[in-house]
Amino acid sequence: MRNPFQGMQISMRAAGQLLIALVLVYAVAAAGYSFFLLQKIESNADYAQENQLPLVLAQNRNALKIERLASLVRSAYLARDRELERQVQLQTHVLARSFTLDNNAQLADKVLEVAEQVKRIIAKREQIRRSETLAQTKTEGISAAQLDKQALEAYQSAMHLTDSLTQDLTTDAAALAYAMSGDIQKTARMIQLAWIVILILPVIIAIGALFVVARHIIAPIHTAINYLGSIDRQEAGDVKFRHPLFRELSTIFDAIQAYGRVSRDLLETNTILHTLSEEDGLTRLANRRSFERKLVEAFNTSVERGDDLAIVMVDLDHFKSINDRYGHQAGDTCLKAAASVLSGVCSDRVCHIARYGGEEFALVLPACSLEDGVCVAEAIRTSISSLRIKAPQDDIIRMTASLGVASMRSGVFDSSEQILENADKALYRAKHSGRNNVKAIAGHDIAVPIVA
């Protein structure tokens, strides 16, 4: 996919300066417009305080007086004392007359009607008291229960009126509040639109900046970090980077790619050198250096786990005579054949095989007892003695080998060199016992033949 920024690069410093300039210009413009909006809010607040708020407060006062009126109506209905009834009627009359000062004729008329109902309630209470004292119920034809019912009807009518007045005042107050809130909402919408405009542009710019940062700064840096990590893990290969938009990153990427190529070349060279330093070039077995390192590792592991460890030393008998009679090429063939035998015998177990030097080989057998090590050595000896190697002039070369075995539990050892020394002593005994045999040493520094 073709990069649209291919061939176009800018400096990160220049991009940063341009962004700072845009932010400053925008901040000044947003601050100026915000000051204008705040001035408008202050003007609207002054108007509401001087004109609309007094009306709302007047409606609230009327609502409180209606609540007081309703309380007086309940007191008039519940009172059973003439003096208390006269006080309630007087307070109701005074409170009703106060509504005529608000220039609201409809409200004043309803309040006066409530006062009349209170007067009627008190009158019915008085009639009930007279009927009880003068026994006039039969003569008038009206019972106390009927009078009490008429008082209840007057009370209910008065309470209905107060509820209606309360609802009307609430509606009027809501209308005033709605008118005042309408002005506030109009200003709020202006502020909302203004701040949407003020905020949406930075959001768009921020999204664009994040896209540029993510695509052309973070992503390239992340790719570079991963590439450096793959170099450290020795996994670096040919990687084609996206061409960075910024010149600074492009320079870094060129350096990283050059470092990757150098690292890959060094890795290949080190791999070859490591192989050469750890492997015998003729037999492809490990060399003596590798063997000694593996022996130390195996020895330490055996000490830590308490396992046994066997060492087998192998030396081809009369190998010099093979070289002298058939030449070094035939000798090399014999060494390769012996190496193949060692690998075959130990193919089904954990074993480290090395060409120790010349015609001598060595084996490290972890978790192997002295007896098992002797069995492995005997299998090697038998296999080598069975080899038939074709030499020049159609001669057949036959070989034998002498082997020495030692193990951890056959003695007390402080180092891997000591157990290797015991295996070498066992090999020396095998050589001096007629060759083509296996000897093992049990005990520290004491040569005791186990298998002959």
The catalytic residues are 359
Longest dimension (CA), the chain: 168
Backbone φ and ψ of 412, nearest 5°: -115, 115
Give me the amino acid identity at 106. Q
The residues, ordered by sequence, that sit 6+ positions from 191 with a Cβ below 8 Å of its Cβ are: 37, 41
Backbone φ and ψ of 284, nearest 5°: 65, 15
